[in-house]
Amino acid sequence: MTQIFNFSAGPAVLPRPVLERAQAEMLDWHGSGMSVMEMSHRGKEFMSILAKTEADLRTLMNIPSNYKVLFLQGGAIAENAMIPLNLLGGKAADYAVTGGWSKRSVEDASAYGKINVVASTEADKYTYVPDFSTWTLNKDAAYLHICTNETMSGVEFVDLPNTNGVPIVADMSSHILSREVDVSQYGVIYGGAQKNIGPAGLCIVIVREDLLDHASSLTPAVFNWKTQAENQSMINTPPTYSIYIAGLVFEWLIEQGGVAAIEKVNVAKAKLLYDYIDSTDFYVNHVAVKNRSRMNIPFFLKDESLNDAFLKGAQENGLLQLKGHRAVGGMRASIYNAMPIEGLQALVAYMKAFESKYS
């Protein structure tokens, strides 16, 4: 059988050893006689899973002790609404629009207060992060929201603007744990799990404690960060099985040498594909080199009439889910932590063969 490589943007590929372990533990977790799916979220077995999962995430990201880690339902899009509800406290907020996801964040947040768009690359089809000197930041903003990796257009931040103390709130859904991050530079980091962490249904919110006192009285209890922080994310039933798999992924990542080690692999993987795209005019990527995402690599065939043939041949070669986001078109290879370098080698080999056949 052809080896399969899954380039889905999310839900996405998970490390094989994690799936194998979940399979082995499916019916009887650690001699408990229960599947994790069957456990009470307040029982000692699941509480131990949750505690280990949080501890491992804290280790991996070096999360300072004055940050809370929340395991919530609702995905990143629910947080788009919950961020203003939890943080605005009657003020306005700044948002940078660098792609489809941060634009969506502005649209969702605007229902809850005054949102100022301080930078936008919409007119340039989201191909770069604008120079920070052009951002019209407000010193009284409750926070600045950014999306540090735009999954659709493949634009990644490599540094942060100086906000003079205004907390930065970052949607890291599609590159969390793929590169080293200094958590202390952020007020809030959040992300849906289904790309670099685990299955869908879990959203992780990492929030600095001093930001927990601004929630509007309209904030639903299950999304009130302070209430959830005080109750170990158990105001409602958390997504227990997704948390368990996330915990296995964190253990796997620690075994790989942690974030610094996987970052090196991620750099090498992305380089393989970008170097090849840059070496030919058969394929093109439009993102400014500095901001090219290491996780989501959109590319276009110069002759777009070949798109269907490209995707069909890719599928036949075991290269799955390469179709670009419907808002962007073309192709997109999402190459999260769990994608082995062999996947990139196979993709580039296929792209070369396709180019020779059609040029």
Binding site for ligand PMP (CB under 6 A): 10, 75-77, 101, 147, 151, 171, 173-174, 192
Asked if 135 is an active-site residue, the reply is no
Q: Is 151 annotated as a binding residue?
A: yes
- Cβ distance 334 to 344 under 8 Å? no
Asked if 101 is an active-site residue, the reply is yes
Compute the least distance from the CB of residue 332 to ligand PMP, in Å. Answer: 11
Q: Catalytic: which of 29, 101, 225, 252?
A: 101
Compute the least distance from the CB of residue 279 to ligand PMP, in Å. Answer: 29
Compute the least distance from the CB of residue 104 to ligand PMP, in Å. Answer: 7
- Residue 90's identity, in one-letter code, is G
Q: How many CA atoms lie within 13 A of 353 on its CB side?
A: 11
- Residue 61's identity, in one-letter code, is M
Q: Which residue is nearest to ligand PMP (CB)?
A: 75
Q: Is 315 annotated as a binding residue?
A: no
Q: Is 101 annotated as a binding residue?
A: yes
- Cβ distance 291 to 158 under 8 Å? yes
Q: Which is nearer to ligand PMP, 86 or 317 (CB)?
A: 86
Asked if 29 is an active-site residue, the reply is no
CA distance to 267, 268, 293, per residue, from 271 (Å): 6, 5, 10
Q: Which is nearer to ligand PMP, 150 or 355 (CB)?
A: 150
Helix axes 44-61, 240-255, angle to 10 degrees: 40
CA distance to 25, 109, 294, 357, per residue, from 169 (Å): 37, 13, 21, 47
Omega of the bond leading into 11 within 30 degrees of 0 (cis): yes
Q: Catalytic: which of 195, 226, 269, 323?
A: 195
Q: Which is nearer to ligand PMP, 102 or 317 (CB)?
A: 102
Q: Which is nearer to ligand PMP, 174 or 317 (CB)?
A: 174
Tokens of 162: 């100086």
Compute the least distance from the CB of residue 28 to ligand PMP, in Å. Answer: 31
Compute the least distance from the CB of residue 36 to ligand PMP, in Å. Answer: 21
Q: Is 237 annotated as a binding residue?
A: yes
Q: Annotate 168-186 with b (16+ C-beta within 10 A) or e (fewer).
A: bbbbbbbbbbbbebeeeeb
Compute the least distance from the CB of residue 206 to ligand PMP, in Å. Answer: 15
Q: Which is nearer to ligand PMP, 241 or 354 (CB)?
A: 241
| Segment (H or E) for 340 | none
List the Cα angle 283/286/287 in 5-degree steps: 130
Q: Is 236 annotated as a binding residue?
A: yes
Q: Catalytic: which of 56, 94, 108, 171?
A: 171
Rounded to whole angstroms, how far apart are CA atoms 208 and 195? Answer: 24
Q: Which is nearer to ligand PMP, 53 or 151 (CB)?
A: 151
Q: Cβ neighbours of residue 64 under 8 Å, at least 6 residues apart?
A: 183, 184
Q: Which residues are annotated as a binding site for pyridoxal 5'-phosphate?
A: 101, 151, 171, 194, 236-237
Q: Which residues are annotated as a binding site?
A: 42, 101, 151, 171, 194, 236-237
Q: Which residues are annotated as a binding site for L-glutamate?
A: 42
Positions marked catalytic: 101, 171, 195
